[in-house]
């Protein structure tokens, strides 16, 4: 197991590589090139420069989060083949700089969705929060505006302003598409890409849908044990795997996260884990809490133990953190709370490991 942290390249992060290097036990980062338009090839020269920057800070670059998928692929349009070719070329380039794992998502139109980016918690910190009723009262363009105008000037992954313009049309398109067709488009993508992931030894790790239930009538696919089983059976290569995000899946109270981890880790199909906690006040209303079990709904000991007991040897990162100690940073991605999260998770891992000896 390797503990890593997400980091945004190109001066688009308040957190420095030096700071990350000083978090005990963190061996690397999972960056992305956020200025490459979705669907285009990530140039090798840019990747080599990124690798040099990361390695010279004493950190490893073995995971990328994320290379986003062009909407034409998700929509199944004839133009998808060009974007799939580009995706394969990007995988080849990633392999040339030593990347071993690629996190991506297959969510229609937008990535994760929250109703608030700085919801005040009782301890004076703020956190990302979700309230389903509030979301349904807004229209998608308002949600995008809210996210972009509260991001403190940072790029928000999955909310590229240039894509948001056509959000309304895209949503209509997916509303008229059956979920089965959406699955078929996913299979088409996997069958085209996974042989190359094998060839270049880059494990593909899909991130769950967040939230894991439908909003605005959009298809949701990676949201439960049953659907993850279906996903893994679409292409049975080990290179077709999961990013197991506990907070995303945990937003559906029916998901038994330790059981999900046990099942898919035992099959060697989880390559990357995002481990964070969330706290519900009611169904579909939650805040992203601090990582420890006592702060949220999830039993982090049971979750980490499920990874350990089932031989997990991939990458783990703490996921979103709260904004604490007056830090000014990209919502969810400050230094302090994620560093606390990493340290806590490493402590659980060590205790579990030693209890077995
Ligand atoms: C991340 C996702 O910030 C987050 O919630 O876990 O945005 C994740 O990076 C993407 O879905 C992966 O493509
Ligand atoms: Mn995640």
The per-residue pLDDT for 161 is 77
Q: How many residues make up the chain in this entry?
A: 357
For ligand 1, mutation pick of 32, 70, 103, 329 (most atoms within 8 Å of CB): 103
Distance from residue 128's CA to the centre of ligand 1 (Å): 13
Q: What is the pLDDT of residues 332-357, one digit of tens each?
A: 999 999 999 999 999 999 999 999 88
Of 122-131, 144-153, 180-189, 337-346, which gets the smallest average pLDDT? 144-153
Catalytic residue (one of 70, 271, 291, 320): 320
Other Cβ atoms closer than 10 A to 62: 21
Q: Which ligand number lies closest to the CA of residue 157?
A: 1
Other Cβ atoms closer than 10 A to 73: 24
The per-residue pLDDT for 134 is 94
Mean pLDDT within 69-92: 97
**261 or 169, greater pLDDT:** 261
The per-residue pLDDT for 226 is 98
Per-residue pLDDT band for 151 (boundaries 50, 70, 90) equals confident
Strands (E), the chain: 2-6, 26-30, 63-65, 101-105, 116-120, 126-131, 203-207, 240-245, 270-275, 279-282, 285-287, 315-318
Q: Which ligand number lies closest to the CA of residue 250?
A: 2
What residue's CA is closest to ligand 1, atom 6?
A: 319
Q: What is the pLDDT of residues 233-283, one digit of tens each?
A: 999 999 999 999 999 999 999 999 999 999 999 999 999 999 999 999 999
Ligand 1 first shell, C-beta below 6 A: 65-66, 103-105, 111-112, 157-158, 207, 210, 245, 274, 319, 332
pTM assigned to the model: 0.96
Cβ(300)–Cβ(275) below 8 Å: yes
Answer yes or no: is pLDDT of 96 > 80. Answer: yes
The per-residue pLDDT for 138 is 87
The per-residue pLDDT for 165 is 77
Q: What is the pLDDT of residues 8-42, one digit of tens each?
A: 999 999 999 999 999 999 999 999 999 999 999 99
Strands (E), 173-278: 203-207, 240-245, 270-275
The per-residue pLDDT for 48 is 98
Distance from residue 78's CA to the centre of ligand 2 (Å): 30
Q: Which domains does the chain have, with CATH numbers?
A: 2-355 (3.20.20.150)
Q: Which of 236, 232, 291 is nearest to 263 (CA)?
A: 232
Q: Which ligand number lies closest to the CA of residue 147?
A: 1
Phi, then psi, of 25 in degrees rounded to 5: 85, -5
Q: Are strands 279-282 and 285-287 parallel, antiparallel or unpaired?
A: antiparallel
Atom of ligand 1 nearest to the CA of 66: 13
What residue's CA is closest to ligand 1, atom 8?
A: 207
295 is catalytic: no
Catalytic residue (one of 174, 182, 333, 336): 333
The per-residue pLDDT for 146 is 84
Instruction: Please identify which residue in the block is written with the tokens 């709370």.
Output: 337
Mean pLDDT (the chain) is 95
Atom of ligand 1 nearest to the CA of 210: 5
291 is catalytic: no
Per-residue pLDDT band for 159 (boundaries 50, 70, 90) equals confident
């Amino acid at each position: 197991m390797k503990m890593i942290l997400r980091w945004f390249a190109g001066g688009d992060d308040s957190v420095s590589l030096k700071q990350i290097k000083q978090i005990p036990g963190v061996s690397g980062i999972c960056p992305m090139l956020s200025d490459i338009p979705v669907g285009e090839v990530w140039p090798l020269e840019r990747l080599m420069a990124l690798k040099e920057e990361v390695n010279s800070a004493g950190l490893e670059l073995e995971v990328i989060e994320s290379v986003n998928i062009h909407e034409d692929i998700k929509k199944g349009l004839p133009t998808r083949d060009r974007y799939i070719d580009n995706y394969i070329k990007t995988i080849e380039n990633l392999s040339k700089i030593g990347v071993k794992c690629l996190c991506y998502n297959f969510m229609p139109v937008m990535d994760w969705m929250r109703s608030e980016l700085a919801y005040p918690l009782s301890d004076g910190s703020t956190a990302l929060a979700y309230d389903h009723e509030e979301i349904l009262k807004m229209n998608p363009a308002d949600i995008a505006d809210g996210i972009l105008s509260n991001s403190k000037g940072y790029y928000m992954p999955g909310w590229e302003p240039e894509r948001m313009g056509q959000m309304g049309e895209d949503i209509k398109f997916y509303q008229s598409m059956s979920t089965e067709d959406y699955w078929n488009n996913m299979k088409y993508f996997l069958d085209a890409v996974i042989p190359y992931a094998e060839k270049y030894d880059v494990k593909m790790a899909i991130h769950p849908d967040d939230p894991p239930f439908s909003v605005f009538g959009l298809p949701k696919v990676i949201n439960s044990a049953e659907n993850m089983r279906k996903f893994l059976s679409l292409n049975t290569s080990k290179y077709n795997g999961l990013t197991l995000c506990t907070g995303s899946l945990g937003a559906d109270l029916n998901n038994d996260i330790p059981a999900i981890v046990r099942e898919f880790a035992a099959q060697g199909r989880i390559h990357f884990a995002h481990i964070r906690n969330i706290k519900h006040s009611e169904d579909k209303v939650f805040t992203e809490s601090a990582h420890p079990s006592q702060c949220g709904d999830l039993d982090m000991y049971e979750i980490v133990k499920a990874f350990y007991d089932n031989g997990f040897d991939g990458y783990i990162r703490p996921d979103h953190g709260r904004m604490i100690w007056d830090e000014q940073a990209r919502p969810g991605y400050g230094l302090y709370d994620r560093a606390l999260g990493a340290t806590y998770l490493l402590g659980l891992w060590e205790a579990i490991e030693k209890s077995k000896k």
